[in-house]
Structure 1
């Protein structure tokens, strides 16, 4: 069963509950800064685990001490859906444990 796209109002309301996340075109995005490349890499591995658990994957970019996620739902034609916010919420909840800001 395909996931339904969220309206712009629904996206804005949900983003208000996720500081640091924003809408960029057809995706929600967030960048995190960590204390080292190793810390950033460990955070990427944790995000990959979350994505596997949810069976929902983002575009994930690892920089020296940064991690950036860009999320949308391919099953919904590339629109933003509740699945994207579920992933964003799980990642956000794990960020502090990695020292990500």
Structure 2
């Protein structure tokens, strides 16, 4: 059974614990700045491994020294679920080890 969509209040409560993450439309997203293109690529690779581990994938965009994630759950009608917040939490937890801010 797919995750149930979170209410607006539940999303807002979860995002208060996730600096840099915001709700825009039907997705939560965050953009990280890194010191170089290579650092951004390494961060993307680490994010990809987290996504595989969770079996939950975001829209992941690599720029020269930026990484942007946008995520919602397709099986929940393209709404934000607890799985999206868990992915955001896991990404936030590794960001500083990559020098992402």
Equivalence map 1:21-100=2 (5 Å): 21-100=21-100
Tell me the TM-score normalised to structure 1 length: 0.99
Separation in structure 1 between the aligned mates of residue 8 and residue 29 of structure 2, nearest angstrom: 15
Answering whether residue 8 of structure 2 is matched by residue 11 of structure 1, we say: no
Instruction: Give RMSD over aligned pairs.
Output: 0.4
Aligned length: 101
Q: Which runs of 5+ in 1 are unaligned?
A: none
SS at match of 2:75: helix
Question: Counterparts of 2:94 and 2:2 in 1: how far apart (Å)?
Answer: 27
Report the TM-score when normalising by structure 2: 0.99
Residue 2 (structure 1) aligns with = 2
- Partner Cα distance (1:51, 1:2) in 2: 17
Structure 2 CA distance for aligned equivalents of residues 64 and 2 of structure 1:
35
